[in-house]
Amino acid sequence: MRTVPTVLLVEDEPSIAELIAVNLRHNGFRPIWAMDSVSAQRELDAALPDLILLDWMLPGESGLTLAKRWRGHERTKAIPLIMLTARGDEADRVAGLDAGADDYISKPFSTKELLARVRAVLRRRAPQAKDEALLISGLRLDSATHRVSFLDQALKLGPTEFKLLHYLMGHAERVHSRGQLLDKVWGDHVYIEERTVDVHVKRLREAMGAAAAMVETVRGAGYRLTAKPELVPVVEAPSHIA
Ligand code: CA
């Protein structure tokens, strides 16, 4: 699992970018610098960061335009985003927040303030503790001990299957496309084939035994973990092969 949070820094001014990058690095983040909208988009296509710091005034497309576009796309809409700008008046502030920014920092700012805002936004966006145990219809996953059980029977899962189940249980009843699962479970790379997801879902179901049917295939859409097929038999009923 990734431990160092990545921050995509979109800033055309090298001296400001350097100052922010150095401070991020010294405080446990991995900064990725993009100096314009084109390189920012290229970085986003390659991997999703944990947070975006986005300058408003950029050559070419403005930060505001980028924020609106990224908020409108399924793949990027949930990434925490902080706008940086020299434009401090209230109308601009409102425009930034309307475009989907989580927060807004006016230049000049102190690096201390910047780091505090970055941490606050990341905390807000990740409300559930990493160590909580998840329990759904007898299926229990404890992320602190890495144990999974179904009706108190221990299940043996590989590391990828564990991460996949952790994500599905943390976002139960919702359908996730293969692309979304790659982003969330595999660490964001678009270069992994979507078929990889199917392989690990199959392994996960095999490891889940009697709870296997809780991982549903949603035709044409992806996968979902559901509490509904409670206590279904191990053998897949023909009715499931719709
Ligand atoms: Ca600028």
Ligand 1 centroid to residue 57 C-alpha, Å: 4
Please give the C-alpha separations between residue 111 and each of 97, 105, 115, 156, 186, in angstroms, as whole numbers. 21, 11, 6, 46, 32
CA distance 107 to 129: 33
Give the dihedral of Cα atoms 46, 50, 56, 62; nearest 10 deg: 30
CA distance 236 to 230: 13
Contact 29, 111 (CB under 8 A): no
Helix, strand or coil, per DSSP, at residue 217: strand
Pairing of strands 30-34, 6-10: parallel
Ligand 1 centroid to residue 107 C-alpha, Å: 10
Ligand 1 centroid to residue 55 C-alpha, Å: 6
At 184, the amino acid letter reads K
pTM value is 0.55
Neighbours of 60 (CB within 10 A): 10
Q: Which domains does the chain have, with CATH numbers?
A: 6-127 (3.40.50.2300), 130-225 (1.10.10.10)
pLDDT value of residue 230: 42
Ligand 1 centroid to residue 13 C-alpha, Å: 6
Helix, strand or coil, per DSSP, at residue 43: helix
pLDDT in tens, 65-119: 999 999 998 888 889 999 998 766 677 777 777 788 888 888 888 999 999 989 8
pLDDT value of residue 2: 46
CA distance 52 to 40: 10
- Residues within 5 A (CB) of ion ligand 1: 12, 55, 57
Ligand 1 centroid to residue 73 C-alpha, Å: 24
Ligand 1 centroid to residue 190 C-alpha, Å: 29
pLDDT value of residue 100: 81
Which stretches in the chain have pLDDT values below 50?
1-2, 230-242
Ligand 1 centroid to residue 123 C-alpha, Å: 27
